[in-house]
């Protein structure tokens, strides 16, 4: 017997309507590149979204499922563009501005973007690649100044868009399984891969994330995690569902700028990767300052270190909520939320518990398996490949014909983990050959391929090793004659092939590199051997 309840599609246009009807007078704050702060009403901003949608539909000719790209920081313009694109039934494609030109060209062409919204700071970036794009797509610069370009003909300023009279009267009615947004990840081998979220997956994730983060009607959340990186962990949608106040930080994310923002606006929940919090904690300690308004810092993207958990607690009375997830998971998978059980523990035991990535959210199944895909015991000792399953987890990459999950629907995260008897999970290693520096991916394989192109290098291997500020940095090991290899020259050579922030922190000459039976480089051994190399420098 089936239940007798209504069908009511879980879509983002409904979420926008809901916010317009119920939270129109609620406010959020956005900081511009010049540092100025401005308060906005959600109702007013969503009205702007209607104007943008009208402009996209009538002036640019955007239709259902067309990709609308953004390259922007966390600010009011970006937020308005988010809801304009998704609300009209297009697919919002958020692009990471730290990608280097070849990747940017690849992604825009692969996604078949029909228009790109960009922050004025990134105009040179898009001008630099414009001639390599498959189509001369329109560019909309997120500024209220006049704008022109010698390279791009069809360029508009946000001012033109807002002046548009072609307002959208009603948001689209769309199937809950339709695509809503697209985000590429470089956390895989080969070219970046697209993850295409649906309306339903986004709404389900938003419900789960709101509960897990513990927002309430009084919350003010500062998402330092970028809106181009998995939708800032879902915060724009959480804001529309709950009416909370968002504090959008703009481009300045150093310790001093963040402190000033926090001190002025008094948010209670902060969200971001460990590197950002390291910058903030250093600034606070150098200037003898504390965080008075903050209750919780949500940390993910890389492991939160014990020392950081302790410092937030002891110096600032702030609970560090450690979370884990990935682009392919919308992103939230597990979280170590504050609980009575945790808060009653001895501090040292609690901090140790908080280094675990936490318990799965309802909607995320987790398990660990051995090399033969046998499920491992949840004993806190056995560790193996971490697999996940659930309604906001990707089944296949954008435009890929094959499923990324196994026959039983499990997706291999590329992380290696232990699950404890109480259900909590800890990441112990990464099986994938990519390096995460300050929350962003570096491809070891691309770097190796670039390095072997240098005449004196016979073989190259790049491993990620722990770094005090960036969490992980690339170390390049080369089989080469140490007496003749010019490391400066090699670095210059690499600089012409990859983004500057990808350059290895050190180059080490070796006589040979370790290989397994199939000829594969044994990177685990090298990571172990050099794990203190950059920590000691």
Indicate which residues carry an active-site annotation. 185, 328, 436, 441
Under rule CB under 6 A, which residues in 342-381 are in contact with ligand AMP?
Answer: 357
The DSSP secondary structure of 375-397, one letter per residue, reads BPPSSSS-EEEEEEE-TTS-SS-
Distance separating alpha carbons of residues 266 and 291, to the nearest angstrom: 9
By beta-carbon proximity to ligand AMP, the closer residue of 93 and 430 is 430
Q: How far is the CB of 436 from ligand AMP (least distance, A)?
A: 6
Using the rule CB under 6 A, is 470 a contact of ligand AMP? no
Q: How far is the CB of 515 from ligand AMP (least distance, A)?
A: 25
Helices and strands in the chain: count of H runs, count of E runs: 17, 25
Using the rule CB under 6 A, is 324 a contact of ligand AMP? yes
H or E, element range at 200: helix 199-213
By beta-carbon proximity to ligand AMP, the closer residue of 297 and 478 is 297
Is the CB of residue 461 less than 8 Å from the CB of residue 526? Answer: yes
Distance separating alpha carbons of residues 308 and 311, to the nearest angstrom: 5
Using the rule CB under 6 A, is 413 a contact of ligand AMP? yes
At residue 532, the 3 state secondary structure works out as: coil
363 Rama class: left (phi>0) / alpha (psi -120 to 50) / beta: left
By beta-carbon proximity to ligand AMP, the closer residue of 243 and 358 is 358
Using the rule CB under 6 A, is 187 a contact of ligand AMP? yes
Q: How far is the CB of 123 from ligand AMP (least distance, A)?
A: 26
By beta-carbon proximity to ligand AMP, the closer residue of 88 and 308 is 308
Using the rule CB under 6 A, is 234 a contact of ligand AMP? no
By beta-carbon proximity to ligand AMP, the closer residue of 102 and 412 is 412
Residues near 413 by beta carbon (within 8 Å), at least 6 away in sequence: 326, 328, 329, 333, 385, 386, 387, 388
- Please count the residues of this chain forming the interface with ligand AMP, following the rule CB under 6 A: 19
Distance separating alpha carbons of residues 160 and 162, to the nearest angstrom: 6
Question: Distances from the Cα of 103 to the Cαs of 186, 190, 240, 474, in angstroms?
Answer: 9, 11, 32, 19
Q: How far is the CB of 12 from ligand AMP (least distance, A)?
A: 21
User: Of residues 326, 475, 494, 507, which one binds ligand AMP by CB under 6 A?
Assistant: 326
Which ranges in 325-477 belong to alpha helices (H)? Answer: 340-343, 347-354, 444-452
Q: How far is the CB of 164 from ligand AMP (least distance, A)?
A: 35
Which window, 14-22, 247-255, 326-334, 336-344, contacts ligand AMP (CB under 6 A)? 326-334
Q: Which stretches of 220-283 are assigned E, i.e. beta strand?
A: 220-223, 245-248, 269-272
Integer distance in angstroms from the first to the last C-alpha of the chain? 67
Using the rule CB under 6 A, is 95 a contact of ligand AMP? no
Which window, 17-25, 262-270, 296-304, 373-381, contacts ligand AMP (CB under 6 A)? 296-304
Q: How far is the CB of 433 from ligand AMP (least distance, A)?
A: 12
Overall residue count recorded for the chain in this entry: 537
Using the rule CB under 6 A, is 390 a contact of ligand AMP? no
3-state DSSP: the chain helix, strand, coil percent, rounded to 5?
Answer: 35, 25, 40
Q: Give the distance from CA 338 to its chain's centroid.
A: 23
The overall longest dimension of the chain from CA atoms, in Å, is: 79
Is the CB of residue 73 less than 8 Å from the CB of residue 6? Answer: no
By beta-carbon proximity to ligand AMP, the closer residue of 176 and 311 is 311
Phi and psi for 182 in degrees, rounded to 5? -135, 135
Is the CB of residue 498 less than 8 Å from the CB of residue 439? Answer: no
Beta bridge partner(s), residue 336: 322
Which window, 276-284, 319-327, 372-380, 527-535, contacts ligand AMP (CB under 6 A)? 319-327
Using the rule CB under 6 A, is 437 a contact of ligand AMP? no
Q: How far is the CB of 415 from ligand AMP (least distance, A)?
A: 5
Using the rule CB under 6 A, is 330 a contact of ligand AMP? no
Using the rule CB under 6 A, is 300 a contact of ligand AMP? yes
Residues near 490 by beta carbon (within 8 Å), at least 6 away in sequence: 451, 454, 456, 457, 478, 507
Using the rule CB under 6 A, is 98 a contact of ligand AMP? no
By beta-carbon proximity to ligand AMP, the closer residue of 272 and 363 is 272
Is the CB of residue 366 less than 8 Å from the CB of residue 334? Answer: yes
Tokens of 235: 């915060």
By beta-carbon proximity to ligand AMP, the closer residue of 329 and 478 is 329
Using the rule CB under 6 A, is 472 a contact of ligand AMP? no
Under rule CB under 6 A, which residues in 262-291 are in contact with ligand AMP?
Answer: none
Which window, 277-285, 367-375, 413-421, 446-454, contacts ligand AMP (CB under 6 A)? 413-421
Q: How far is the CB of 131 from ligand AMP (least distance, A)?
A: 29
Nearest Cα residue to 382 out of 425, 324, 322: 425
Q: How far is the CB of 426 from ligand AMP (least distance, A)?
A: 9
At residue 155, the 3 state secondary structure works out as: strand
Using the rule CB under 6 A, is 331 a contact of ligand AMP? yes
By beta-carbon proximity to ligand AMP, the closer residue of 114 and 193 is 193
Interface positions with ligand AMP (CB under 6 A): 185, 187, 230, 300-303, 322, 324, 326-327, 331, 357, 413-415, 427, 430, 436
């Amino acid at each position: 017997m089936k239940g007798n309840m209504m069908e009511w599609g879980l879509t983002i246009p409904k979420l926008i309507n809901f916010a317009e009807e119920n939270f129109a007078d609620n406010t959020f704050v956005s900081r511009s590149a010049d540092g100025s702060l401005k308060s906005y009403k959600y109702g007013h901003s969503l009205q702007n979204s209607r104007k943008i949608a009208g402009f996209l539909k009538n002036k640019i000719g955007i239709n259902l499922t067309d990709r609308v790209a953004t390259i922007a920081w966390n600010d009011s313009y970006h937020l308005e563009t988010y809801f304009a694109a998704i609300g009209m039934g297009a697919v919002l494609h958020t692009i990471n501005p730290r990608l280097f030109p070849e990747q940017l060209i690849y992604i825009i062409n692969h996604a078949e973007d029909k228009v790109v919204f960009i922050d004025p700071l990134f105009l040179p970036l898009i001008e630099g690649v414009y001639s390599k794009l498959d189509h001369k797509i329109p560019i909309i610069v997120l500024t209220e100044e006049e704008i022109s370009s010698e390279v791009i003909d069809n360029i508009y300023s946000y001012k033109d868009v807002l002046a548009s009279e072609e307002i959208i009267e009603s948001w689209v009615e769309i199937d809950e399984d339709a695509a809503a947004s697209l985000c590429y990840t470089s956390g895989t081998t080969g070219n970046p891969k697209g993850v295409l979220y649906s309306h339903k997956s986004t709404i389900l994730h938003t419900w789960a994330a709101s509960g897990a983060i513990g927002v309430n009607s009084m919350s003010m959340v500062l998402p330092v995690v970028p809106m181009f990186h998995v939708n800032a962990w879902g915060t724009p949608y959480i804001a529309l569902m709950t009416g909370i106040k968002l504090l959008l930080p703009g481009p300045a994310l150093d310790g001093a700028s963040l402190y000033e923002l926090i001190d002025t606006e008094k948010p209670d929940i902060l969200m971001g990767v460990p590197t950002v919090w390291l910058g903030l904690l250093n600034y606070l300690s150098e200037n003898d300052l504390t965080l008075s308004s903050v209750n919780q810092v949500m940390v993910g993207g890389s492991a939160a270190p014990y020392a950081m958990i302790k410092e937030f607690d002891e110096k600032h009375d702030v609970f560090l909520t450690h979370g884990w997830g990935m682009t392919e998971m919308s992103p939230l998978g597990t979280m170590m939320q504050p609980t009575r059980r945790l808060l009653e523990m001895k501090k040292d035991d609690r901090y140790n518990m908080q280094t675990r990535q936490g318990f799965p959210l309802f909607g995320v199944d987790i398990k660990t398996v051995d090399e033969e895909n046998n499920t491992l015991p949840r004993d806190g000792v056995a560790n193996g490949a971490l697999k996940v399953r659930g309604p906001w987890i990707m089944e296949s990459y954008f435009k890929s014909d094959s499923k990324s999950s196994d026959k039983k629907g499990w997706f291999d995260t590329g992380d290696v983990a232990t699950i404890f008897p109480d259900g909590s999970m800890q990441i112990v290693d990464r099986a994938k050959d990519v390096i995460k520096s300050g929350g962003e991916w570096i491809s070891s394989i691309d770097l190796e391929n670039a390095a072997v192109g240098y005449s004196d290098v016979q073989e190259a291997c790049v491993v990620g090793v722990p770094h005090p500020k960036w969490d992980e940095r690339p170390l390049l090991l080369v089989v080469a004659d140490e007496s003749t290899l010019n490391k400066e020259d090699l670095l210059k050579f690499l600089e012409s092939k990859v983004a500057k922030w990808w350059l290895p922190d050190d180059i080490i000459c070796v006589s040979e590199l370790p290989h397994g039976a199939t000829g594969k480089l044994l990177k685990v051994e090298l990571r172990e051997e050099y794990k203190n190399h950059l920590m000691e420098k």
